[in-house]
Amino acid sequence: MKSEQFPLIFKAEDFAKSFDDDINNFSSELYKKITDLNFRYRLPTKEENEQLIYNMLLKIDSDKQIIGASERKEVWFKGWNENLQSYIESGFKEESLTPKFVRQGNPIRLNQKFVFTLDDNFELNFIQIYRQWFIEKFFDQVDNVYEFGCGTGFNLLHVNKIFPKKKLFGSDFVQSAVDLVNEISKSKKIPLQGNLFDMLRPDYSYKIFPNSAVYTFGALEQLASNLDPILNFFISQKPSICIHTEPAIELYEDNCLVDYLAKKFQGKRGYSSGLIGKLKALENQDKIEIIKIKRLYFGSYFMEGYNLIVWKPR
């Protein structure tokens, strides 16, 4: 495909708007990464858009996956174990850590529209920009960073690239993810520790050190809306800041067809909902302070899994 067939470009100014930040706050490293990566895209024709809607309706009707079902634990174990084996066999290449659910070549959601992209890795590239931005913005002043539901550990590895002296902790509810994180720590010689931790049944003997950041990235979505146990755990541990990048069904608009389809898809699968409402209730109880809630208006073909929610215990 030629560049001229994809006349639109998602620029640094667009990222700033998506993140609700001033572009003047962007670091030179972040700005360079935006310009180095390919963010060209095009809108579909009327016929293409109708086909995308039709295909999504078929997917919603036929989809059988249920979030939080008991068999999902085995699926996650196998998935992260595949990444572990790929990481070792590749000679510890970072590319092997990309989760399988970040798929290449699919149309994506951008500003409440379906779009086609020139680079098949547009979604991953967007994640890289967003990840670098929130790490630089929110992790600068803390000594330790904890990711709950860390999966392949590819986010923690990037935290280390930006802040190599910070102590990192990754936890997950399946052993293969923990083994992978500890393999990254050993192979890259970085201050990273993996631990087994079930967010549905938090282990209160697992302590979060003072002056720490806690974050999740598409992990709370897997709890089937049983969010109280982990939120109560976070509050009890008093981290300096909590950051969640998660789907939020409450942020869709009912008068937009593309949003409506995502809402139907998320609702059928049972991705967690209610996080924003629970946090607002906790804020009303003076237990936490909400710092930021921002819909990024970006996602995969089927849903927007990337919304920013930032808070801290009082």
* Model confidence pLDDT, tens digit, residues 80-134: 999 999 999 999 999 999 887 777 888 999 999 999 999 999 999 999 999 999 9
What's the token pair of residue 258? Answer: 């593309």
Selection from 198, 154, 205, 209 nearest residue 175 by Cα: 198
Mean pLDDT on 143-159: 97
Q: Is pLDDT at 33 greater than 70 in this prediction?
A: yes
Q: 110-114 — which CB contacts under 8 Å span 24+ positions?
A: 110/10, 110/41, 110/297, 110/298, 111/297, 111/298, 112/253, 112/256, 112/258, 112/259, 112/297, 113/43, 113/258, 114/44, 114/49, 114/52, 114/258, 114/301
Residue found by looking up tokens 């399988």 in the block: 100
Mean pLDDT on 290-310: 97
For residue 285, what pLDDT is reported? 98
| Better-predicted residue by pLDDT, 99 or 236 | 236
* Model confidence pLDDT, tens digit, residues 199-215: 999 999 999 999 999 99
CA angle 311, 168, 35 (to 5 degrees): 75
198 torsion bin: left (phi>0), alpha (psi -120 to 50), beta (else)? beta
Amino acid at 140: D
Which superfamily does CATH assign the domain made up of 3-313 to?
Vaccinia Virus protein VP39 (3.40.50.150)
Least confident of 69-73, 88-92, 172-176, 180-184: 69-73
* Model confidence pLDDT, tens digit, residues 45-86: 999 999 999 999 999 999 988 887 777 888 899 999 999 999
What's the token pair of residue 237? Answer: 């541990």
Listing DSSP states for 113-162 in one string gives EEEEESSTTHHHHHHHHHHHHHHHHHSTT-SEEEEES-TT-HHHHHHHHH
Pairing mode, strands 192-196 and 108-110 = unpaired
For residue 104, what pLDDT is reported? 80
For residue 4, what pLDDT is reported? 86
- Domain spans of the chain, in order of start: 3-313
For residue 102, what pLDDT is reported? 78
Q: Determine what percent of the chain is predicted with pLDDT higher than 70.
A: 100
For residue 67, what pLDDT is reported? 85
Q: How confident is the model at residue 1 (pLDDT cuts 50, 70, 90)?
A: low
Query: Average pLDDT of the chain?
Result: 95
Q: Is pLDDT at 2 greater than 80 in this prediction?
A: no
